């Protein structure tokens, strides 16, 4: 397993939390938000090796870093996002910026640039997006033209424009994606290169403490050794290769932002009396605004931890899993923050209670590093192939494994998760037979349903065998939450699946039964009791301050 030992990781996290308590108080964070200000000193502190050296986390030991793994990145990203998502973006954009070098750089490039970033605590920016090339990076127009001397390429002249670049106006080092004759390629560009200018900071909806700017490259000359990997045309593959990692990071941002808001709502409900009693005693309050969000966030956490362990265990190709993690965690974080405003009533709509800022901040996680829709597409496209290749065995076999877990640990909800996976198999097969995915909407909806099914399966599996240590909820509570999530997933697959399949013209008159709708409805028994248990556990874990 790659990564830090538990003691070192816990120390980094608690040091960060103590720093935040001392220096990043709500008034200060609100002021940064109000003034749209990048907190230079905070970033200096966080990158200072004598204080935190947070950037060292993601630099391998051989280049002077600490060699943190995916699990460490998840824990630090969640912690940072719980504090402030704007600052988290500023800190972790460096990680994103170094990725092309980490996955694609030559040994000399890694030694040089990673060593420099480690020693000097350089802020890095990742320049992929362009005004006309967002989700579709393949349509980028920034050009890298080879400069020849005696028939040998000695450098490149880069021309073009990048859009929405985090740390764009403040970084010292940039990785920039440009079209070379051999295809899209990454180049390392220093901040003071001639012809390289940056736009003014964007006036954003949220994460206003992070700097986002356009980049303008006007005949920017770089020597040939700045071509990442030394071979043209590898840029898109290199960007793809790190998605497992980077989407896990943004998923962890969703988790942290969502919990930051939800925790406030749980505590608030224990101080606010309406209708003669505390809101935390009102089921319609807890079961609508608190419990479902805690459940979805913890389902996402279980999945994030599972993906992180796979990456750290030596299987970095987790692009689809990274997409599921990002999609579920960021959508869950966004909804949790939205509901936290509602849970605070009119107070939630003001600046003082922080939830409206958190809501604005966490919104970005559904957009950057691939939008939620692009995640749906990625998930559906990849798992569709799995379904076809395995002739339906992919989820059927997984359901059989869940049956075995259900026999051992029935309280984990694994039997209901198995129902969800079996219904999904039936639905995918129906879509194949009736060629329903020729409708783009159907394919994307399948992406959503697959994400629900997989998180239900993983949440049940881990609740039964490996509950998280990252949150103060007992293994028994996590099992109850896994049951609630499995019920939601199964019902969603059956209901939405039926709706979209019928809506797109499916031909099986017996589809509701094939999806096992009666069993899925029957599995809802006990739901309200389980939600009562989760509500009580949340209130115990996050008492009024």
Ligand X SMILES: Cc1cc2nc3c(=O)[nH]c(=O)nc-3n(C[C@H](O)[C@H](O)[C@H](O)COP(=O)(O)OP(=O)(O)OC[C@H]3O[C@@H](n4cnc5c(N)ncnc54)[C@H](O)[C@@H]3O)c2cc1C
The residues assigned a catalytic role are: 369
The residue with its CB nearest to ligand X is 134
Q: What secondary structure letter does DSSP report for 77?
A: H
Q: In terms of CB distance, is 212 or 460 closer to ligand X?
A: 212
Question: Which member of 308, 374, 379, 490 binds ligand X (CB under 6 A)?
Answer: 374
Provide, rounded to whole angstroms, the least separation between the CB of residue 256 and ligand X: 17
| Least distance between ligand X and beta carbon 376 (Å) | 9
The interface region with ligand X, picked from 162-170, 237-245, 262-270, 424-432 by CB under 6 A, is 162-170
Cβ of residue 328: shortest distance to ligand X, in angstroms?
A: 16
- The minimum distance between CB 205 and ligand X, in angstroms, equals 9
**Chosen residue from 43, 66, 364, 420 binding ligand X by CB under 6 A:** 364
Q: Which is nearer to ligand X, 197 or 283 (CB)?
A: 197
- Any contact of residue 399 with ligand X (CB under 6 A)? no
Long-range CB pairs of 494-503, under 8 A, 24+ apart, other chains included: 494/423, 494/520, 496/445, 496/448, 496/449, 497/423, 497/424, 497/427, 497/449, 500/436, 500/441, 500/442, 500/445, 501/427, 501/430, 501/431, 501/434, 501/436, 501/442
Query: DSSP labels for 157-173?
Result: EEEEEEEEEETTTT-SE
Interface mask toward ligand X for 475-494; x: CB under 6 A: --------------------
Q: Distance of alpha carbon 163 from its chain centroid, rounded? A: 21
What b/e sequence results for 475-500 when a residue is b if at least 16 CB atoms lie within 10 Å of its CB, and e otherwise? eebbbbbbbbbbbbbbbbbbbbbbeb
Q: Closer CB to ligand X, residue 135 or residue 465?
A: 135
Give 239 or 539: the residue with its C-beta nearer to ligand X.
239
List C-alpha distances in Å: 531 to 52, 285, 329, 467, 535: 40, 12, 20, 19, 6
Q: Which residues, numbered 101-160, are part of the site for ligand X (CB under 6 A)?
A: 126-129, 134-135
CB 282 within 8 A of CB 268: no
Q: Which of 341, 319, 320, 322 is nearest to 330 (CA)?
A: 322
CB 128, min distance to ligand X, A: 3
> Which span sits near ligand X by CB under 6 A: 29-37, 144-152, 341-349, 363-371?
363-371
Smallest separation, CB 112 to ligand X (Å) = 22
Chosen residue from 373, 429, 434, 508 binding ligand X by CB under 6 A: 373
Which tokens is 455 given? 């998180």
Among candidates 107, 95, 45, which has minimal Cα distance to 70? 95
- Is 164 one of the binding residues for ligand X (CB under 6 A)? yes
Window 211-230: contact mask with ligand X (x via CB under 6 A): -x------------------
CA distance 330 to 337: 11
Q: Which of 77, 79, 142, 166 contacts ligand X by CB under 6 A? A: 166
Q: Which is nearer to ligand X, 169 or 348 (CB)?
A: 169
- In angstroms, rounded to a whole number, what is the distance separating the alpha carbons of residues 403 and 406? 5
Site for ligand X in 193-212 (CB under 6 A): 204, 207, 212
Question: Does residue 474 bind ligand X (CB under 6 A)?
Answer: no
Q: What is the largest CA-CA distance in the chain?
A: 86
Contact 449, 521 (CB under 8 A): no
Judged by CB under 6 A, the residue of 174, 253, 368, 459 near ligand X is 368
Cβ proximity to ligand X, 385 vs 440, nearer residue: 440
Q: State which of positions 37-96 bind ligand X (CB under 6 A).
A: 93
Contacts with ligand X by CB under 6 A lie at 93, 126-129, 134-135, 164-166, 204, 207, 212, 364, 367-371, 373-374
């Amino acid at each position: 397993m790659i990564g830090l030992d538990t003691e070192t990781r816990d120390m980094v996290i608690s040091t960060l939390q103590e720093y935040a308590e001392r220096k990043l108080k709500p008034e200060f964070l609100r002021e940064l938000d109000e003034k749209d200000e990048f907190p230079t000193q905070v970033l200096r502190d966080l990158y200072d090796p004598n204080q935190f050296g947070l950037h060292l986390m993601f630099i391998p030991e051989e280049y002077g870093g600490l060699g943190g793994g995916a699990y460490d990145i998840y824990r630090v990203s969640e912690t940072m996002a719980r504090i402030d998502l704007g600052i988290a973006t500023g800190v972790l954009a460096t990680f994103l910026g170094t990725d092309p070098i980490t996955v694609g750089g030559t040994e000399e490039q890694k030694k040089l640039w990673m060593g420099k970033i480690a020693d000097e605590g350089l802020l890095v920016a990742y320049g992929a997006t362009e005004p006309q090339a967002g989700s579709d990076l393949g349509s980028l127009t920034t050009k890298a033209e080879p400069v020849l001397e005696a028939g040998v390429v000695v450098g490149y002249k880069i021309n073009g424009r990048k859009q929405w670049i985090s740390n764009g106006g403040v970084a010292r080092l940039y990785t920039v994606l440009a079209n070379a004759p051999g295809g899209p390629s990454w180049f390392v560009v220093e901040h003071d290169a001639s012809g390289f200018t940056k736009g003014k900071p964007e006036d954003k909806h949220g994460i206003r403490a992070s700097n986002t700017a356009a980049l303008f490259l006007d005949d920017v000359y770089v020597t040939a050794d700045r071509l990442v990997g030394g071979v043209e045309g590898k840029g898109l593959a290199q960007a793809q290769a790190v998605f497992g990692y980077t989407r896990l990071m943004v998923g962890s941002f969703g988790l942290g932002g969502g919990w930051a808001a939800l925790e406030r709502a749980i505590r608030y409900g224990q101080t606010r009396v309406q209708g003669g009693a505390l809101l935390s005693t009102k089921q319609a309050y807890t079961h609508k605004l608190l419990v479902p969000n805690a459940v979805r966030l913890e389902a996402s956490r279980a999945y994030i931890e599972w993906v992180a362990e796979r990456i750290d265990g030596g299987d970095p190709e987790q692009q689809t899993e990274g997409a599921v993690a990002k999609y579920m965690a960021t959508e869950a974080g966004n909804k949790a923050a939205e509901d936290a405003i509602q849970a605070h009533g009119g107070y939630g709509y003001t600046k003082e209670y922080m939830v409206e800022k958190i809501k604005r901040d966490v919104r970005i996680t559904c957009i950057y590093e691939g939008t939620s829709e692009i995640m749906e597409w990625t998930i559906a496209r990849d798992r569709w192939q799995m379904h076809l290749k395995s002739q339906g065995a992919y989820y059927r076999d997984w359901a059989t494994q869940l049956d075995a877990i259900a026999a051992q640990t029935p309280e984990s909800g694994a039997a209901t998760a198995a129902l969800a996976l079996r219904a999904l198999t039936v639905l995918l097969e129906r879509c194949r037979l009736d060629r329903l995915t020729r409708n783009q909407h159907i394919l994307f909806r399948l992406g959503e349903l697959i994400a629900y099914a997989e998180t239900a399966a993983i949440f049940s599996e881990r609740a039964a065998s490996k509950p998280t240590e990252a949150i103060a909820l007992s293994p028994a509570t996590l099992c109850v939450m896994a049951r609630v999530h499995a019920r939601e997933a199964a019902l969603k697959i059956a209901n939405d699946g039926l709706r979209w399949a019928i809506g797109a013209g499916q031909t099986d008159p017996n589809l509701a039964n094939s999806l096992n709708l009666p069993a899925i409805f029957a599995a809802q028994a006990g739901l309200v009791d389980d939600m009562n248990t989760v509500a009580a556990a949340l209130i115990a874990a996050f008492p009024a301050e």
